[in-house]
Structure 1
Amino acid sequence: MSRLYAEYELETPLDLPHTAAVIAGEQSSGTFLKIEGETEALKVAHGARIESIVETGRSDKPALPCRMKGEIYTRGRIRLSWPMENIGPSLPNTLATVAGNLFELREVSALRLLDITFPDDFAKAYPGPAAGIAGTRKLAGVERGPLIGTIIKPSVGLDPEATAALVKKLSQGGIDFIKDDELQANGPHCPLEARVKAVMRVLNDHAERTGKKPMYAFNITGEIDEMKRGADLVREAGGTCVMVGIHSVGLPGVAALRRHTDLPIHGHRNGWGLYSRSPDIGISFIAWQKFWRIAGVDHLHVNGLRNKFSEDGASSIASAKECLAPLFDGGRDYVAMPVFSSGQSAEQIEDTYAALRSTDLIYCAGGGIMGHPQGIAGGIASLREGWQAAAEGISLDEYAKSHPALAAAIGAFRSRLA
């Protein structure tokens, strides 16, 4: 019988084995007292199992408010497992199992889901990313190197025709990928249908003249039926990508959309800080991203080096590496393309490539393109030049001596990101 495994960092005012047992019972067959129906045979067949416990430290104060008090709060890593007979290959019910009521237990003063190992049952139940890296490259017309991308700015306020006018400038400047901001979906000021028609008129015309159609990720976040209509609208207009706020639509929403369309799904993780910012509660990206890749997301945001948020660069690089790591043995690998964004410019490229050692990514810069001293074309050129330098093993500063757009980007953005 296959099993599901999850690893946690736990802190408790009690001893680790006791609290691990409480968590295992709460998340499987048990409750706060012994009841008649919970026989030993039932617990053996359906109870969560404690696989390992490793103590890592102690403190005289709890990390989080805790109803139960203790003289010492013990911290450690625990690994639990569940029989798939309990859950079945269901992402929503798996999430309820590994990240449900356990966070609220009074015996817990800190708890964070670190990782999860999905059995191959899920590969049979969920199709995973439709395009992944190879499909995204084919649709965007980028055989090698990163996709150079941007975000429509201002985030909201541009009507469909103004959005299309900006897309025209970006296309003429050589952009590979454009996305709606997550705040712009289907509001009255810039409704999706009108935006798709206006933008795709520009992109289809550009493709007719040049042979290259930049990929545009239209934000279709909404109710499930609404997203399906949005995906159909994009495809019928010649579009090659849709975007959803994955926390807003949930795992069933993403899975339903994936089964409805073969367009790449650009997964925006707005709201991610709720899960990630505290070291004492929440879910690590390592565990979290696996759910969305199995559900069918093709691209996942990972922030980036020296970004505008609180996440450090090492975490962003680790997240990108996880997106590129295969999930299951044999068959499809469920790899998703990491999306670097949030305050990115040419200035971070050298360090990004040195840390990641891959160009299978989308490198999105809003201000790094729109705010470039030489304008949009200069901003796009600076990013392409930066990645060319990195791939050739030439330092950014050295390459900038003969590439004015890159030099201008370094001068404009380096001091802002220090």
Structure 2
Amino acid sequence: MSERIRASYWLETGDDPQRAADTIAGEQSSGTFVALAMETPALKARSGARVERLEVLERVREPSLPTPVRAPHYTRCLLELSWPIENFGASLPMLMATVAGNLFELRAVTGLRILDLHLPPAFMAAYPGPAFGVAGTRRLAGVARGPLVGTIIKPSVGLDARQTAEQVAALVEGSIDFIKDDELQADGPHCPFEERVKRVMAVVNRAADRSGRKAMVAFNLTGDLDQMRRRHDIVLAAGGTCVMACLNAIGLVGLHELRRHAQLPIHAHRAGWGHLNRSPALGWDYAPWQKLWRLAGADHMHVNGLANKFSEPDDSVIAAARAVLAPLSPEAPMTAMPVFSSGQTGLQAAGTHAALGCADLIHTAGGGIFGHPLGVAAGVTAMREAWEAAMAGEPLAARAERSQALRAALGFWK
């Protein structure tokens, strides 16, 4: 029997739900808007998408999305579709085109969101997944326990390569574990990529020679394929241990090709995620979306952070982090490392640890470190002390009695 790919959706429709489900299945496999002679029963049995499940949840009076055809009511359902893998083979781009192609704009659809995605072993085996994941990242960063305490170079853009290296020098003096470029910083004339890598890694390598542990720096190499390969090689030659790419900017093919070339962990930024996720009636849940990017090769994946500056609630953030830490399947057990960011300070350490149940994560704080009244090194120390307290189950206030850096941080972390 053919292996099948399965996708689950939340569906809202003003049409008969079964007819709407059949329309979606046909549109995304063998059918079109009229019956054709060549679409024989045998062809449909071999290549057509199947409606595996259709469960009515509720009916509402108003549609979630604009629609050209009004209906007396709109039915919300759980829908599961399946496709034979032979329709498109083990291809991530074609998988995307199939499970998230011309579905959302169908006339019968007034809401559609991808909830889950199940891929058979033959598909999993075709993609390498992350090369480093949690274990490889810990090894390269020299952090055996606890989170990687990290930060983002700020200001986001505008600093030149020399100024960026000065920021990094202050951070490595404070024994930072992880530093990343902002997603907006790549290869502009004020801070060229190659010069930035050269200056920053000179600082990082000198510090590593003294301490025996090298801070991991994720250099943003987002660009076309040739640029990304060349920039990766610049980082590798300079002794760097990580590169970063913006997923929605480079696409699945871009990440997969970078993974095929890379000898370093790939830090995957989800910039632009809100337009795929923010409407509850449209787009993706994070769990199925991250599966595609992990298969393509992401070692670290952003999941937002607790009490963040954006609109995402805490339970969604934790669900995303758990998804990143879960094995994709028995055939693809490698996990990636969730990256918590967005308005983070040590105040979120205890809640993050308690909700996630582990410290296999990168916790990045920009202003929470750079804004420390005693300086950047004290900001790093305060973050680390907050996490030590969280892992020990110790209240922050009690820990602050023994740590000047943490005590001072509590005065400005709000």
Tell me the SS of whatever aligns to 2:5.
strand
Q: Shift in Å at residue 400 of structure 1?
A: 2.2
Supply the distance in 2 between the matched residues of 1:134 and 1:3 (Cα, whole angstroms). Answer: 32
Tell me the SS of whatever aligns to 1:377.
helix
> Which residue number corresponds to residue 358 of structure 1?
358
Tell me the SS of whatever aligns to 2:318.
helix
Are 2:137 and 1:140 equivalent residues in the alignment?
no
The answer (yes or no) to whether the contact 1:182–1:245 under 8 Å persists in 2 is yes
The answer (yes or no) to whether the contact 1:347–1:409 under 8 Å persists in 2 is no
CA offset digits 1:362-381 (Å, max 9, x no partner):
00000000011221111111
Q: Shift in Å at residue 118 of structure 1?
A: 1.2
Q: Shift in Å at residue 264 of structure 1?
A: 0.3
1:288-299 equivalent positions in 2, closer than 5 A: 288-299=289-300
> Which residue number corresponds to residue 94 of structure 2?
93
Q: Shift in Å at residue 287 of structure 1?
A: 1.1
> Which residue number corresponds to residue 283 of structure 2?
282
Are 2:206 and 1:205 equivalent residues in the alignment?
yes
1:184-263 equivalent positions in 2, closer than 5 A: 184-263=185-264
> Which residue number corresponds to residue 379 of structure 2?
379
Gaps of 5+ in 2: none
1:168-183 equivalent positions in 2, closer than 5 A: 168-183=169-184
Tell me the SS of whatever aligns to 1:122.
helix
Tell me the SS of whatever aligns to 1:302.
strand
Instruction: Report how many aligned residue pairs link the two structures.
Output: 413
State the Cα RMSD in Å. Answer: 0.9
Supply the distance in 2 between the matched residues of 1:339 and 1:255 (Cα, whole angstroms). Answer: 20
Supply the distance in 2 between the matched residues of 1:74 and 1:123 (Cα, whole angstroms). Answer: 35
> Which residue number corresponds to residue 398 of structure 1?
398
Q: Shift in Å at residue 334 of structure 1?
A: 3.1
Tell me the SS of whatever aligns to 2:268.
strand
Tell me the SS of whatever aligns to 2:125.
helix
Tell me the SS of whatever aligns to 1:189.
coil
Are 2:73 and 1:72 equivalent residues in the alignment?
yes
1:311-350 equivalent positions in 2, closer than 5 A: 311-330=312-331, 332-350=332-350
Supply the distance in 2 between the matched residues of 1:218 and 1:346 (Cα, whole angstroms). Answer: 24
Q: Shift in Å at residue 14 of structure 1?
A: 1.2
The answer (yes or no) to whether the contact 2:350–2:391 under 8 Å persists in 1 is no
The answer (yes or no) to whether the contact 1:244–1:268 under 8 Å persists in 2 is yes
Supply the distance in 2 between the matched residues of 1:398 and 1:28 (Cα, whole angstroms). Answer: 61
Q: Shift in Å at residue 408 of structure 1?
A: 2.4
1:14-25 equivalent positions in 2, closer than 5 A: 14-25=15-26
Supply the distance in 2 between the matched residues of 1:206 and 1:404 (Cα, whole angstroms). Answer: 24
> Which residue number corresponds to residue 47 of structure 2?
46
Supply the distance in 1 between the matched residues of 2:123 and 2:393 (Cα, whole angstroms). Answer: 40
Supply the distance in 2 between the matched residues of 1:30 and 1:307 (Cα, whole angstroms). Answer: 44
Q: Shift in Å at residue 323 of structure 1?
A: 0.3
Q: Shift in Å at residue 410 of structure 1?
A: 2.4
Supply the distance in 1 between the matched residues of 2:328 and 2:122 (Cα, whole angstroms). Answer: 12
The answer (yes or no) to whether the contact 1:122–1:294 under 8 Å persists in 2 is no
Supply the distance in 2 between the matched residues of 1:224 and 1:265 (Cα, whole angstroms). Answer: 14
Supply the distance in 1 between the matched residues of 2:340 and 2:367 (Cα, whole angstroms). Answer: 14
CA offset digits 1:296-342 (Å, max 9, x no partner):
00000001100011111111011000000000114x41311000000
Tell me the SS of whatever aligns to 1:102.
coil
Supply the distance in 1 between the matched residues of 2:98 and 2:283 (Cα, whole angstroms). Answer: 14
> Which residue number corresponds to residue 57 of structure 1?
58
Q: Shift in Å at residue 87 of structure 1?
A: 1.4
Q: Shift in Å at residue 403 of structure 1?
A: 2.2
Q: Shift in Å at residue 144 of structure 1?
A: 0.9
What is the letter of the counterpart of residue 114 of structure 1? Answer: L
CA offset digits 1:34-62 (Å, max 9, x no partner):
00110000000000011111111111111
> Which residue number corresponds to residue 10 of structure 2?
9
The answer (yes or no) to whether the contact 2:346–2:382 under 8 Å persists in 1 is yes
Q: Shift in Å at residue 382 of structure 1?
A: 1.1
What is the letter of the counterpart of residue 18 of structure 1? Answer: R
Q: Shift in Å at residue 24 of structure 1?
A: 0.3
> Which residue number corresponds to residue 310 of structure 2?
309
What is the letter of the counterpart of residue 217 of structure 2? Answer: Y
What is the letter of the counterpart of residue 329 of structure 1? Answer: P
Supply the distance in 2 between the matched residues of 1:210 and 1:373 (Cα, whole angstroms). Answer: 25
Tell me the SS of whatever aligns to 1:360.
coil
Supply the distance in 2 between the matched residues of 1:242 and 1:269 (Cα, whole angstroms). Answer: 14
Tell me the SS of whatever aligns to 2:80.
strand
What is the letter of the counterpart of residue 391 of structure 2? Answer: A
Supply the distance in 1 between the matched residues of 2:333 and 2:407 (Cα, whole angstroms). Answer: 39
What is the letter of the counterpart of residue 374 of structure 2? Answer: Q
Q: Shift in Å at residue 114 of structure 1?
A: 0.9
> Which residue number corresponds to residue 409 of structure 1?
409
Supply the distance in 2 between the matched residues of 1:394 and 1:127 (Cα, whole angstroms). Answer: 41
Q: Shift in Å at residue 31 of structure 1?
A: 0.3
CA offset digits 1:7-35 (Å, max 9, x no partner):
00000001211111100000000000100
Supply the distance in 2 between the matched residues of 1:72 and 1:16 (Cα, whole angstroms). Answer: 12
Q: Shift in Å at residue 391 of structure 1?
A: 1.0
Q: Shift in Å at residue 226 of structure 1?
A: 0.6
Supply the distance in 1 between the matched residues of 2:406 and 2:98 (Cα, whole angstroms). Answer: 49
Displacement over 3 Å in runs of 4+ = none
